[in-house]
Structure 1
């Protein structure tokens, strides 16, 4: 049977080791979870950012990449002297399709637009280059495309400055 000397002392007021408010069990003391770890052994403490330089370099590279993409797009669009649009087509017969094109170009610049026509099975049945002389900045004109058989579609392939 235990004697009075074997019993632990009653906790004193202000004794943090036994206080229920501290969240520690008696005897945890300095060996608990909040004890300091050896410096540099487990990396930087949580919340500290040692990779700040890496983040700055990544941000700068990202901005440079986006600037390059924007510059490439603007320079590509700016180099297009002639643009065209197929505004409609009508199948006239088994051997003809009437296509309507709108071409935008610099005034005084000739243009050449390539149009093709396809049959229902996807085979190409006609292709022609239409020439637009230096007659204005915007030209909207209908042309007849001859085909080898009944066409079901017409497609503008390209427009470029002519010679």
Structure 2
């Protein structure tokens, strides 16, 4: 009796289609993985190194038809001057007030309640953003 072979001789006819597909998937996965690592590193750099001022609006209270008090939490470097802009919105989400506040206190973290005057009754408030005064 003679032995029957079940496949092609190993390595005789080059790589199979499965091996080529596996190689392509490995290359694509490696490139995407390297890109993801680079993206995470860039976000980390921006967050840790470049952002020396950040803020968060943690509450607001409509105190009159033409004023709203906003509670801001500001995180900054001790020597930085923070400029935060807040806007007040009415029921249709139209802007009825806007004010920028400057925080130059020699403190790292601040919690302040500030008043924004409005042209109509505000129903909400939002923080537009905070930036370092040196960024201009």
- TM-score range with shorter-chain normalisation? 0.7 to 0.9
Query: Structure 1 length as normaliser, TM-score?
Result: 0.68
Structure ranking higher in helix proportion: 2
- Paired with 1:120 and 1:53, the residues of 2 have a C-alpha distance of 58
Taking the TM superposition and a 5 Å limit, the aligned residue runs for 1:137-152 are 137-152=108-123
Q: Which has the higher contact order (CA 8 A, sep 6+)?
A: 2
Taking the TM superposition and a 5 Å limit, the aligned residue runs for 1:12-161 are 44=16, 49-78=19-48, 79-161=50-132
Deviation at residue 51 of structure 1 after TM alignment: 4.1
Paired residue secondary structure (1:145):
strand
Paired residue secondary structure (1:64):
helix
Aligned residues: CA RMSD: 2.5
- Paired with 1:35 and 1:62, the residues of 2 have a C-alpha distance of 35
Distance 1:35 1:94, change over 3 A: closer
- Paired with 2:114 and 2:7, the residues of 1 have a C-alpha distance of 87
Paired residue secondary structure (2:19):
coil
- Paired with 1:35 and 1:52, the residues of 2 have a C-alpha distance of 20
**Unaligned residue ranges in structure 1 (runs of 5+):** 1-13, 15-29
Structure ranking higher in strand proportion: 2
* Residues 65-103 of structure 1 deviation map (CA, whole Å, 9 limit, x = unaligned): 111211121122121110101111110001000111010
